[in-house]
Structure 1
Amino acid sequence: MGFHTYDPDRADRLEDAASRYRYCSAEELLGALADAGEVVDVGSGTGFYTDSVAAHADRVHAVDVQAAMHDRYREKGVPDNVDLVTAEAADLPLPDGAADAVVSTMTYHEFHGEAALAELRRVLRPGGRLVAVDWSADGPGESGPPVDERYGPADVRAHLTEAGFDPDRIDERPETWLAVATVPDA
């Protein structure tokens, strides 16, 4: 699978609540995050889910590889507790153990790799939580990226385990999965 990004010219589609919440509601995402003071949102895009997380976090680092996505986010208004970070998931400009949680919605298939998962683990404190929701390779492919660009729940569990996370749960749904994993305490 090759790295790719979402087309910024189609970014308005990322703000369609009816479509987005069909696959992951804000309540589901926030429930999986639990209490998180410092959060890194990887693949934040236009900030659709970032806004919900920011309302329940002390600080959110909205990370996207495309500056154009941050421009779109600025147009709609960025909450005061959100920092926009243009970076790849494999090269985050954050200190070791800086985050209580990392969240990723519908972008795992875009950044997955050993380097990215190692970097996410590096920025999480011991006991920190990774919450990811993405399109499933086991799904029918009616929405989202082509099925051959996705990972199935068993693959994700293996990826997370190999990267040193403890997968707490991986919920499989018809078109998506939700994974919650923690960094073991030191």
Structure 2
Amino acid sequence: MGHHTFDASRAEKLERPERRYRFLSTEELLWAVALSDDDTVADLGSGTGFYTDDLAPHAGDVYAVDVQEAMHDYYREKGVPEAVELVTSGVSDLPLDDGTLDAAVSTMTYHEFASDDALAEIRRVLAPGGRLVVVDWAAAGSGDPGPPIEERYAADEAAAALRESGFDVEHEAVRSETFLLIATAE
């Protein structure tokens, strides 16, 4: 499996709602993460902040985590909501205290960071009972939208990795191009 990052020079492609919401709507994301107004949430692999913007009005504090400063530059130009703090970091080395987060989301980025180290780090920064939502490109997909098939994971593979890292997987849905996992930190 390849671990790559999205080419920041093509960031504007990530701002196309007609394509993005086809695979994950705001409503589905908000349902899955089930935020309270005072929750602290991290968007892991936030990119241009497309889904971060959907989370911000429904949470207390939001960390937009991306390994590429160029993505944060794009987000700054677009306009970052007041509740959002930009964090330039890889997922396997988050600069957050233990148990800081009530929730974390990964929207179409799991394939970019999937590793035991990254999952252990997410588990570390989530409070007990904290929710992790993963929506990513499915290995069974066509490979037309999203990354090449060889860089994708099957939902059951990702769910098994989450369980091995201390998560209880509560919901698993597989669609034609994507999968959705909802898990809580044990």
TM range (shorter): over 0.9
CA deviation profile, 1:15-36 (whole Å, cap 9, x unmatched): 0000000000011000001024
CA deviation profile, 1:71-111 (whole Å, cap 9, x unmatched): 00000100001000000000000000000000010000000
- Scaled by the length of structure 1, what TM-score is found? 0.97
The offset of 1:170, in angstroms, is: 1.1
The residue that corresponds to 1:181 in the other structure is 183
- Scaled by the length of structure 2, what TM-score is found? 0.97
Q: Does 1:24 align with 2:31?
A: no
* 1:129-168 → structure 2 map (5 Å cutoff): 129-168=131-170
3-state SS of paired residue (1:49): helix
Distance 2:159 2:34 in 1: 20
Distance 1:91 1:43 in 2: 13
Distance 1:12 1:23 in 2: 17
Percentage identity across aligned positions? 59
Distance 2:5 2:162 in 1: 22
Distance 1:22 1:56 in 2: 21
- The Cα RMSD (Å) is 0.7
What letter is aligned with 1:31?
Answer: W
The offset of 1:140, in angstroms, is: 1.8
Q: Does 1:106 align with 2:89?
A: no
Aligned residues: 184
Q: Does 1:13 align with 2:13?
A: yes
Distance 1:154 1:94 in 2: 29
